Amino acid sequence: MFLKIIEIIFPVLIIALIGYFYAKKEKISMDIPNKINLEVFIPILVFYAISEKLPSITTLGTFSLGAVIVVLGSGIILYPITKLLGVNPRTFLPSMMFNNSINLGLPLALFAFGEEAMALIIALSIVQIVGQFTIAVVMYGGVAKISELLKNPVILATFFGLIFNYYNLHLPQILIEPLKMLSQISIPLVLFALGVRLSTIEFSHWKIGLIGAILCPLSGILMALVAIYIFDYTPLQTSLIILFGALPPAVVNSLMAEKYGYDSSVVASLVAVGNLFSLIVIPIVLYFLFIV
């Protein structure tokens, strides 16, 4: 069991570490590679997984609702905690609600459960992405624009993937192979970018960061168990939504806080400490998922 967990975690860790140390040495910018990944490679992965790998879109309905419970539920149950801690809910809660499902969730699902899990974890990630660019934007002081969300390549890829799946449409094999190859670029690149981003984040508010690092997976797993209790999930869906709940804060939270000028140093610490603490949390969660 220990070796199995190491096999899952090691590729994630080593690629992120390569990005981290390379960025320390070269001071590179990932703006353009990230833009290409978010607008080309990840949308292709989403379309390919949903259209070609998902048995039926009917499995996504209650599963996506489970993600809504995890995201919104985490914010609701932690709101009173922000009052006890004396921190601004609009600073603290987005990092607790919106997790690293793209940078960390996708590769972990692939390495732990195989290609079958990709379309399912994407269903959870889409809920997180929609919330990140609507609810989180408003919480950080920005204005959510639905028109911008509808132009998001990941959202568009999801829509077309669902259409192809529902009507049992398939691209010619001559196109499937290059799409598959391009989709395989996305996961190593998001891990490398995660390492690069973590190399620039400061730990000036490490105490609140540590509190968030504990509360984020705790609240997420608790709400995942609520979703499992409500809905009749398969064993794979059960494992994936628990893994989804255990993920650390999304790196994009620190970018949004910086963009809107909203306690960016506090949010950066929540993200940095949370992602480092996940090196302890994720192996423990995987251990329990595999022995149950």
Question: Would you call 41 exposed, middle or buried from its count of C-beta atoms within 10 A (0-12, 13-18, 19+)?
Answer: buried
Residues in the chain: 292
Please tell me the predicted confidence (pLDDT) of residue 147: 78
Measure the CA–CA gap between 47 and 172, rounded to whole angstroms.
Answer: 14
Residues of the chain with pLDDT under 50: none
pLDDT at 224: 98
Which three-class secondary structure state does DSSP give residue 27? coil
Give the residue extent of every domain in the chain: 2-291
Give the span between the Cα atoms of 109 and 242, in whole angstroms: 11
pLDDT digits (tens, 9 = 90+) for 209-257: 999 999 999 999 999 999 999 998 999 999 999 999 999 999 888 878 8
What are the distances in angstroms from CA 287 to CA 1, 3, 4, 5? 7, 11, 9, 7
The answer to whether 12 touches 275, Cβ cutoff 8 Å, is no
pLDDT at 254: 83
Predicted pLDDT of residue 189: 93
**CATH number among 3.40.50.2020, 3.30.420.40, 1.20.1530.20, 3.40.50.360, domain 2-291:** 1.20.1530.20
pLDDT score recorded for residue 285: 96
Task: Note the pLDDT of residue 292.
Answer: 64
CA 285 and chain centroid, separation: 16
